[in-house]
Structure 1
Amino acid sequence: MRRMTMAAAGAAAGAALLAGCGGQAATGSGDSPYNGSEIEGAFTLPSTEFTDNKGEPYDLKEDSAGKYTAVFMGFTNCPDICPTTMADLSQAKGMLDESTQKEFQTVFITADPERDDPELLDMWLGSFDPSFVGLTTNLEDTDATADELGISVSRPEDRSGDYQVDHGGQTLLFDPEGESQVMWSYGTEPEKVAEDLETVIGEGA
Structure 2
Amino acid sequence: MPPLPTTNRRRIAGAAALALAAALSLTACGSGSGSNSNSAAAIVSKEASNSPYQGTVLSKHFDKPDLTLSDTSGQPFDLRQRTAGKTTLLFFGYTSCPDVCPTTMGDIGVAMQKLTPEERAKIDVVFVSTDPQVDTPKVLRTWLDSFDKDFIGMTGDLTQVKAAARSLGILVEDPVVNKDGTVTSSHGAQVLAFLPSDDKAHVLYLSNTSQDVFAHDLPLLAKGVPA
Q: Within 2, Cα distance between the matches of 1:51 and 1:143?
A: 15
Q: Which structure has more RCO (C-alpha within 8 Å, separation ≥ 6)?
A: 1
Select the residue among 137, 161, 165 that pairs with 1:118. 137
Select the residue among 194, 199, 217 that pairs with 1:178. 199
Post-superposition offset of 1:194: 2.0
Residue of structure 2 equivalent to 1:169: 189
Q: Within 2, Cα distance between the matches of 1:40 and 1:91?
A: 28
Select the residue among 11, 16, 20 that pairs with 1:7. 16
Output the aligned Cα RMSD.
2.5
Post-superposition offset of 1:4: 5.8
Q: Within 2, Cα distance between the matches of 1:201 and 1:156?
A: 34
Residue of structure 2 equivalent to 1:80: 99
Q: TM-score, normalised by structure 1?
A: 0.87
Residue of structure 2 equivalent to 1:19: 27
CA deviations 1:11-61 (Å, max 9, x no partner) are: 44445x313312237426462433211125431112211110111111111
* Higher alpha-carbon deviation: 84-93 or 170-179: 170-179
Q: Within 2, Cα distance between the matches of 1:184 and 1:59?
A: 23
Unaligned runs of 5+ in 1: none
Select the residue among 143, 150, 154 that pairs with 1:135. 154
Residues paired across the two proteins, number: 203
Unaligned runs of 5+ in 2: 1-10
Do the aligned partners of residues 189 and 77 (structure 1) sit closer, same or farther apart at CA in structure 2, a change above 3 Å counting? same
Contact 1:95 1:191 in 2 (8 A): no
**Percent of residue pairs bearing the same amino acid type:** 35
